[in-house]
């Protein structure tokens, strides 16, 4: 039942505005892939193209060898879960779930049996006769999930399914979604703007920006080794410092930025180009009051409390940076300090890369 999805060189336009540019993406059979990005990045457009609510201006979409590109939505056999649930208000919970089976010409008894079994799996069989309006948000989304799963689609798609739920329920529901998806082994595409959500449940994540795919990889790779400054900033590498290589000695590279020299090992980062960007999260910069420390001279600005650390806004010759300092020795605004990069928590990006 489970099938791979291939999107090949797909572009899409709204009127004359290009909203998706030459997107290629493959989802393996049984894999859950998230499309992640801010609103307007093209993730929802991509989902609507796969669903058939939009037509691409070029490119092709195939599902398990079946060309979907020109197929109308109702013949695509895709399970969809919407942000606002989109349950049929005039049908009971059971009839909502059985709707897709009815379209497939399955007899009433069998429909009922299968719909009940699916409602049982999402823990809602006792609510089968209720109207959707009488359910809570979480229950509605479970019904929507059951409705999409019961037709045993080769592809399941989620459009920000948890955005309307409160924080605690979001976490519970995403675990539930992942478990059901795993158990069924259904190829899935999951659209979200929530990075934690995407990273926690996906096999791979496609980070998108302005209608283009910025990076497509496992969450672990995206989190530690972003491929460009856009992805780096997106996953929290708030500090991006430009460096120039001034000396090379085998594995070791000495690089320089305004006010600081740094020795870097290529065994840690791979080949380092002559001009590069060093990116770190606030945790990757140690705040040192020691004037003799080998770091970037900085003047501290606003201090905020994060619970596990203090965070400082810092002014340096390399621009505005953000660093986290220890809770035991809070520093005052205006203090002169050194910011020392922690090599393991830094990553190297090509200068002038995709922004």
Partner 1 sequence: MSDRPHPLLIVIAALVYLFLMVPLVIVVGAALSDTTYLTFPPQGLSLRWFENIFQISAFRRTIVTSLQIAFLGTLIALLIGIPAAYALNRFRVELPKWLGTLFLLPILVPEIVFGFALLKSLTVGTGAPIFLALLIGHTLIVLPYVVRVISASLASFDFSIEEAAISLGSAPVKTFFTIVLPNVRGGVIAAFILAFITSLNDVSVSLFLTGPGISTLPIQILAHVEQFFDPTVASVSVLLMVLTVAVMAIVERTLGLTFLAK
Kindly list the residues in this chain that would bind partner 1 in the complex (CB under 8 A).
Answer: 51, 53, 72-80, 82-84, 86-90, 99-100, 103-104, 144, 147-148, 151
We find the least distance from the C-beta atom of residue 231 to partner 1, in angstroms, to be: 30
Q: Which is nearer to partner 1, 102 or 336 (CB)?
A: 102
- CA distances (Å), origin 5, targets 63, 77, 118, 195: 5, 13, 25, 23
d(CA 138, CA 151): 21
Q: Which is nearer to partner 1, 78 or 346 (CB)?
A: 78
For residue 93, give the nearest of 31, 45, 135 by alpha carbon: 135
d(CA 82, CA 73): 15
Distance between start and end Cα atoms, the chain: 40
Q: Which is nearer to partner 1, 63 or 232 (CB)?
A: 63
Q: Which is nearer to partner 1, 148 or 162 (CB)?
A: 148
Which residues, 6+ apart, have CB-to-CB distance to 65 below 8 Å? 3
We find the least distance from the C-beta atom of residue 135 to partner 1, in angstroms, to be: 15
We find the least distance from the C-beta atom of residue 82 to partner 1, in angstroms, to be: 5
- CA distances (Å), origin 193, targets 41, 199, 238: 10, 11, 18
Q: Which is nearer to partner 1, 107 or 252 (CB)?
A: 107
We find the least distance from the C-beta atom of residue 276 to partner 1, in angstroms, to be: 44
We find the least distance from the C-beta atom of residue 144 to partner 1, in angstroms, to be: 8
Which residues, 6+ apart, have CB-to-CB distance to 178 below 8 Å? 32, 201
Q: Which is nearer to partner 1, 74 or 308 (CB)?
A: 74
Which residues, 6+ apart, have CB-to-CB distance to 314 below 8 Å? 287, 298, 299, 300, 301, 320, 321, 322, 323, 337, 339
Q: Which is nearer to partner 1, 132 or 138 (CB)?
A: 132
d(CA 350, CA 272): 8
We find the least distance from the C-beta atom of residue 90 to partner 1, in angstroms, to be: 5
We find the least distance from the C-beta atom of residue 156 to partner 1, in angstroms, to be: 11
We find the least distance from the C-beta atom of residue 104 to partner 1, in angstroms, to be: 6
63 torsion bin: left (phi>0), alpha (psi -120 to 50), beta (else): beta
Q: Which is nearer to partner 1, 53 or 305 (CB)?
A: 53
């Amino acid at each position: 039942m489970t099938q791979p999805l291939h999107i090949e060189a797909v572009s899409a336009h709204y009127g004359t505005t290009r909203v998706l540019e030459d997107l290629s993406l493959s989802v393996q059979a049984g894999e859950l892939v998230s499309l992640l990005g801010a609103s307007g990045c093209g993730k929802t457009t991509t989902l609507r193209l796969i669903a058939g609510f939009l037509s691409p201006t070029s490119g092709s979409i195939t599902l398990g060898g079946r060309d979907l590109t020109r197929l109308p939505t109702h013949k695509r056999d895709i399970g969809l879960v919407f942000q606002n649930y989109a349950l049929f208000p005039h049908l009971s919970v059971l009839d909502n779930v059985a709707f897709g089976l009815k379209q497939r010409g399955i007899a009433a008894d069998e429909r009922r049996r299968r719909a009940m079994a699916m409602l049982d799996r999402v823990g809602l069989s006792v609510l089968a006769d209720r109207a959707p309006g009488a359910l809570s948000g979480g229950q509605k989304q479970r019904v929507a999930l059951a409705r999409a799963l019961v037709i045993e689609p080769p592809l399941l798609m989620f459009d920000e399914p948890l955005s309307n739920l409160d924080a605690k329920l979001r976490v519970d529901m995403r675990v539930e979604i992942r478990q059901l998806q795993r158990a069924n082994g259904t190829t899935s595409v999951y659209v979200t703007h929530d990075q934690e959500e995407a990273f926690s449940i996906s096999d791979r994540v496609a980070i998108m920006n302005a209608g283009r795919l910025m990076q497509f990889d496992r969450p672990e790779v995206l989190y530690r080794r972003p491929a460009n400054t856009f992805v780096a900033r997106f996953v929290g590498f708030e500090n991006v410092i430009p460096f120039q290589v001034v000396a090379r000695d085998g594995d070791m590279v000495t690089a320089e930025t305004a006010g600081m020299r740094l020795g870097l090992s290529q065994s840690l980062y791979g080949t380092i180009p002559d001009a590069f960007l060093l990116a770190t999260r606030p945790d990757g910069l140690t705040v040192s009051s020691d004037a003799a420390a080998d770091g970037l001279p900085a003047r501290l600005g606003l201090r905020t409390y994060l619970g596990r650390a203090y965070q400082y806004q810092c002014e340096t010759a390399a621009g505005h940076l953000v660093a986290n300092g220890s809770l035991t020795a809070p520093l005052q605004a205006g203090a002169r300090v050194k910011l020392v990069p922690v090599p393991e928590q830094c990553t190297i990006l090509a200068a002038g890369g995709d922004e």
